[in-house]
């Protein structure tokens, strides 16, 4: 349980740091002084949200993100429907830890689905949302992976528990690889389309 407490604390600390950085970034952007007015020059305008480059990879990554989100949400629903499952084996894990894990997985799954839909609709915001989803997935999966390794290597644990922990460690490792791969692929294929410089026209004549 002590190891679980440390891992949960690290997860919460990471999320808190991420939230603080986001708040500070938004505050600094609002405090940034406006650019001085000058002569009208040709400008580049991105209509929000930015459009992504239309490549086959965008459709593949977006579709896989939706499938991955659906599978994870299905797993969460199944776990909840069985009353958190394996009550005897998880008797040493508090309900708060299990609820926290389910909450992280649910949020990450929803973000992954949103990112996939945005990428399929040609929005560059999808890659950013998939990055957040990947971050949450990696945090909670690493927590479970670490716990599984501890139980697997424990000499005091029962043989059945050690076998279950070994299986869980393998599954979570595969989950971790998929999470990081999905987030990395979204960064490569979800790049904004190159803008068209607006030269002349009504804006340049004023």
pLDDT one-digit tens code per residue, 6-28: 566 566 666 656 656 665 665 56
Q: Which range marks the domain in which residue 60 is found?
A: 56-198
Q: For the chain, how many structural domains are there in total? A: 1
CA 206/CA 198 separation, integer angstroms: 14
60 located within any domain: yes
Confidence tier at 39 by pLDDT (50, 70, 90)? low
42 located within any domain: no
Q: What b/e string do you get for 54-87 counting C-beta neighbours within 10 Å, with b at 16 or more?
A: eeebbeebbebbbebbeebbeebeebeeeeeeee
20 located within any domain: no
8 located within any domain: no
Q: Taking the model in full, what pTM does it have?
A: 0.62
Q: Can you give the pLDDT at residue 92?
A: 55
CA 84/CA 105 separation, integer angstroms: 14
68 located within any domain: yes
Does the structure show a pLDDT above 60 at 200? no
User: Which residues, including other chains, have CB under 8 Å from residue 141's CB and lie 6 or more apart?
Assistant: 172, 175, 176, 179
44 located within any domain: no
The predicted-structure confidence for 109-152, as pLDDT tens digits, reads as follows 888 888 888 888 877 778 888 888 888 888 888 888 888 888 88
Phi and psi of 43, rounded to 5°?
A: -130, 165
CA 179/CA 138 separation, integer angstroms: 7
7 located within any domain: no
158 located within any domain: yes
Q: Are 111 and 104 spatial neighbours (Cβ–Cβ below 8 Å)?
A: no
Q: Are 174 and 145 spatial neighbours (Cβ–Cβ below 8 Å)?
A: no
Q: Which H, E and C letters describe 66-91, residue by residue?
A: HHHHHHHHHHHHHHHHCCCCCCCCCC
Confidence tier at 71 by pLDDT (50, 70, 90)? very high
């Amino acid at each position: 349980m002590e190891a679980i407490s440390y891992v949960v604390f690290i997860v919460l600390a990471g999320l808190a740091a991420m939230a603080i950085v986001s708040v500070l970034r938004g505050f600094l952007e609002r405090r940034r002084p406006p650019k001085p007015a000058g002569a009208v020059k040709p400008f580049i305008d991105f209509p929000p949200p930015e459009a992504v480059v239309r490549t086959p990879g965008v459709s593949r990554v977006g579709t896989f993100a939706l499938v991955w989100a659906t599978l994870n949400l299905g797993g969460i629903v199944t776990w909840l429907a069985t009353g958190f499952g394996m009550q005897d084996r998880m008797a040493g894990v508090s309900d708060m830890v299990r609820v926290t894990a389910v909450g992280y997985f649910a949020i990450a799954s929803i973000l992954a689905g949103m990112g996939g839909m945005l990428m399929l609709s040609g929005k560059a915001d999808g890659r950013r949302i998939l990055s957040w989803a990947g971050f949450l997935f990696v945090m909670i999966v690493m927590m479970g992976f670490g716990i599984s390794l501890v139980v697997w290597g424990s000499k005091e644990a029962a043989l059945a528990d050690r076998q279950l922990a070994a299986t869980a460690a393998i599954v979570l490792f595969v989950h971790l690889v998929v999470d990081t791969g999905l987030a990395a692929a979204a960064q490569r294929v979800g790049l904004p389309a190159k803008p068209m410089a607006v030269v002349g026209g009504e804006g340049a004549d004023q």
